[in-house]
């Protein structure tokens, strides 16, 4: 496993991170601890959760699994999705209460990366950044990031932070994969311009880039797309399968799987700091971690990009 700087921060994160949305939703504490322990075995040190994952259980279970190992990891969580109607997610009032709740559940006195899970159109970004800056000054949060922001929102927040001399966002977490590339229009260019590290989520496009779904076949029981019901049809279309089959062939000719290609292609972009992938079993952690060993050349990244266009 290799490690990269998270944007312009002082944090170093593993190239493959663990998304913890399965904790408390698809797996229990015993399985969660097994997955976390597997991360230590394979050099994965970046853990990403949120206060809404598993109905808050993800933070609780991750905190328990990291007992005695907190100092060895970069711990990231998110807030905003659970904000009540009378407390805007970006307001000082809500942020202060949200961070205290997350710290308690995670059994820690600081969060390495505290991310706003979605933009709040009802609160001036200046208020949000001021509240976050106070958390950084107090030592409860080391760095701040955003998630699901647009390019202009990233630029606006950076300008506001520079103007007010507050902490700046150092990362942007967005849906990004070989099959979902809308962020390339504005988000990744904004991140490059303002020094944010990109943290792609859904790097395997809900499993389409694992090779386990086949054209003309219904999703197997227990898979993510099977649980999506009618929505799965939107992903399991001929256009996507054309791309998947072309990518499988390209990777296979070079002795690799499409899963390995999905990670290697994202990591082939310098603006990407870590690729976040979930796991419910230790062997999935091992498979995800192994992908970091394949380095694509710039020419190969471009060739694969055209295959997936």
* Cross-strand bridge partners of residue 251: none
Cβ 204 vs Cβ 177: under 8 Å:
yes
Closest CA to 177 of 202, 199, 198: 202
Provide the 10 A C-beta neighbour count for residue 124: 12
Closest CA to 39 of 265, 292, 219: 292
Q: Which of 53, 114, 149, 213 is catalytic?
A: 53
Query: To the nearest 5 percent, what fractions of the chain are helix, strand and coil?
Result: 50, 15, 35
- Copy the structure tokens of residue 99: 């961070």
Active-site annotation holds for 114: no
* Residue 129 Cα to chain centre, angstroms: 21
DSSP 8-state secondary structure symbol assigned to residue 43 = T
In terms of DSSP bridges, do strands 197-201 and 12-14 run parallel, antiparallel, or are they unpaired?
unpaired
Q: What is the CA radius of gyration of the chain?
A: 19
Cβ 1 vs Cβ 15: under 8 Å:
yes
Q: Could you give the residue ranges of the DSSP H alpha helices within 254-297? A: 258-267, 282-290
Just list the catalytic residues.
53
């Amino acid at each position: 496993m290799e490690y990269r700087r998270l944007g312009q921060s002082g944090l170093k994160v593993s190239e493959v991170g663990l998304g913890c949305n399965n904790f408390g939703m698809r797996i229990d504490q015993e399985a969660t601890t097994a997955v976390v322990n597997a991360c230590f075995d394979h050099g994965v040190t970046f853990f990403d959760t949120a206060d809404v994952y598993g109905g808050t259980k993800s933070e609780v279970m991750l905190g328990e699994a990291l007992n005695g190992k907190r100092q060895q990891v970069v711990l990231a969580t998110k807030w905003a999705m659970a904000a009540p109607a009378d407390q805007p997610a970006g307001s000082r009032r809500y942020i202060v209460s949200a961070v205290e709740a997350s710290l308690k559940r995670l059994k820690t006195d600081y969060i390495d990366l505290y991310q706003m899970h979605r933009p709040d159109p009802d609160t001036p970004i200046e208020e949000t950044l001021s509240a976050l800056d106070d958390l950084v000054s107090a030592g409860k949060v080391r760095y701040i990031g955003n998630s699901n922001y647009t390019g202009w929102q990233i630029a606006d927040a950076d300008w506001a932070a520079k103007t007010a001399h507050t902490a700046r966002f150092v990362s942007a977490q967005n849906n990004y994969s070989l099959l979902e590339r809308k962020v390339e229009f504005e988000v990744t260019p904004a991140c490059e311009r303002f020094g944010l590290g990109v943290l792609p989520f859904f790097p395997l496009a809900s499993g389409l880039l694992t090779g386990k779904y086949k054209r003309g076949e219904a999703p197997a029981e227990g898979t993510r797309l099977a649980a999506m019901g009618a929505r799965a049809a939107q992903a399991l279309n001929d256009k996507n399968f054309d791309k998947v089959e072309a990518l499988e062939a390209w990777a296979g000719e070079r002795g690799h799987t499409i899963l390995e290609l999905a990670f290697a292609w994202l990591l082939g972009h310098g603006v990407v700091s870590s690729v976040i992938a979930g796991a419910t079993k230790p062997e999935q952690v091992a498979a995800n971690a192994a992908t970091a060993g394949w380095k694509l050349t710039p020419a190969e990244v471009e060739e694969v990009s055209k295959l997936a266009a």
